[in-house]
Amino acid sequence: MEGLAKTTKGAPEALGGIFYDGSLHYAIKIPDGLSLLARLNPHATIAELDSVPGSDRPPLVTLVHLSFDAMVAIGFGLLALGAWLAWSWWRQRELPRTPWFLRAVAVSGVAAVVATELGWITTEVGRQPWIVYRVLRVANAVNPEPGIQYGFWAVVGIYAILTVVTVAVLRQMTRSVPVPQEPRPADVESYRVT
């Protein structure tokens, strides 16, 4: 995940970067950061890609590295948003009403889903070529039987139909009852305050 090509003592933490020609380029490196994170010792030795045979390494190191970095960045962004809310609530006992906070909250749901997908990319691409590490390779786990594609297309078709039906039902629900533009006297007359 870190894109470290050689086993290193006091390994730096790399933020971003592209892995090619056997090393990570254009990354922001924090000295001793990876050793500190992985072993709680800034001088610890971290085993990396050179300790794994070439046939057992993931094929897309850059994709794994950048997916992991983006997932972590989104996670810290969501933590910061939660801290902003907690701080504002502690100080003023109300939600922040700044446009930037509201924009961040509007984006946070999508960002959480993106972070989840990036985590899956990190996991699934990062474990290649293994399905079960050192037990079963992906090439040995593929089902060779004919006709598998029909089941796949059946699932795709069913989900496509369900998507269309869901959108149609939601559109019908939003159009069936008109929403008043402002409260009417009849909306509040039946409520009594005692």
Name the helix (H) or strand (E) containing 131: strand 130-132
Per-residue pLDDT at 173: 87
Q: How far apart are CA 186 and CA 163, in angstroms?
A: 38
CA 188-94-183 angle, to 5 degrees, is 20
Helix spans in the chain (H): 33-39, 61-92, 99-126, 138-141, 148-176, 185-188
pLDDT of residue 189: 76
DSSP 8-state class, residue 90 = H
Q: Which of 61, 56, 48 is nearest to 20 (CA)?
A: 61
Quick one: angle between helices 61-92 and 99-126, nearest 10?
A: 150
pLDDT at 59: 83
Query: How far apart are alpha carbons 128 and 141 in whole angstroms?
Result: 12
pTM greater than the 0.75 cutoff: no
Q: Is 130 exposed, middle or buried (0-12, 13-18, 19+ CB in 10 A)?
A: middle
Phi, psi of 10 (to 5 degrees): 70, 50
Phi and psi torsions of 6, nearest 5°: -120, 145
One digit per residue, pLDDT tens: the chain, 194 residues? Answer: 788 888 889 889 999 999 988 888 999 999 999 999 989 999 999 888 888 888 888 888 999 999 999 999 999 999 999 999 999 999 998 889 899 999 999 999 999 999 999 999 999 998 889 888 888 998 888 888 899 999 999 999 999 999 999 999 999 988 877 766 777 777 777 777 76
Instruction: Tokens 């496509």: give the residue.
Output: 160
